[in-house]
Structure 1
Amino acid sequence: MRDGNSPDQGEPTHTTESGGGPAAGEPGAVHVIVGTDRTRIVLSGEVDADLGPELQEATAEAEQRGLPIEVDAHHVTFMDSSGVAFLARLSIRSEHRVRLLRVPPTVRFLLEVTRIGELLDVVDDDDSAEPFEPVDSATP
């Protein structure tokens, strides 16, 4: 028996990146963008144990900045316990309540089952937030 997150037998777990958004089986990525008033962590692809070191680095960088943290999960195609632990770690270490933006159904399910969602502010869209301005953005 397989669930919607499991690859078929013989199907590769990871594929190379294509031009569009992440596809199922795409390797995960973590990007930390420091803004003027908050830190945004963007997750994409498969958030699993392979991303362990990157998730730890993102946690350390966000914690060091001391700004409110938001995690954009819009392009996450799969998440295992490593991703759940990352979110829990962020919520415990941050001085501010962590916002989780644009949560896909697979991640929302994990938040409900593990109850980690109770530690985070889950925001369905990012439209209600003020514009995000990276610290190093060039002005026109």
Structure 2
Amino acid sequence: MKVQHAEALSVPETEVWSRLSDFSSWPNWLSGLRSAAGRNNEVELLFRFPPNLRLLIQVERVEESLHYELMEGDVSALQGRIDITSDTNGALLSWHLDVMVPTSIPFPLRIEFEEVVFPDWVRRLVGRESSVGTVA
């Protein structure tokens, strides 16, 4: 399943980077996440859905992007990136996710991620309501 979401934020790029760099704060904005334990460039994520979904992902900042990739866990494959650039009014955030699970994902679930889940995560990350824009 490939999902993308893009949105303009009213907070500065440096503030978005600061929040993303603090793995311990991820459960505050990443809904469904029970815990996040970070060490070096890896973070272990424990989700509530399905019960106790566990993902160990490697996170690396590459220029204006945060790249992440599954090291081990309860899905077949997962990778993606969060691109963050500056705009005159704040930051531009673009989120890309590519995940392979053992079963097929219905199209409505992809739409749910693009139109509800990712926008909610971004609103929580920056601590405000935001303008939502989905990219194909």
Alignment TM-score, normalising by the size of structure 1? 0.27
Task: State the structure with more CA Rg.
Answer: 1
Task: Tell me which protein shows more strand as a share of its residues.
Answer: 2
Alignment TM-score, normalising by the size of structure 2? 0.27
Larger RCO, structure (CA 8 Å, separation 6 or more): 2
Task: Tell me which protein shows more helix as a share of its residues.
Answer: 1
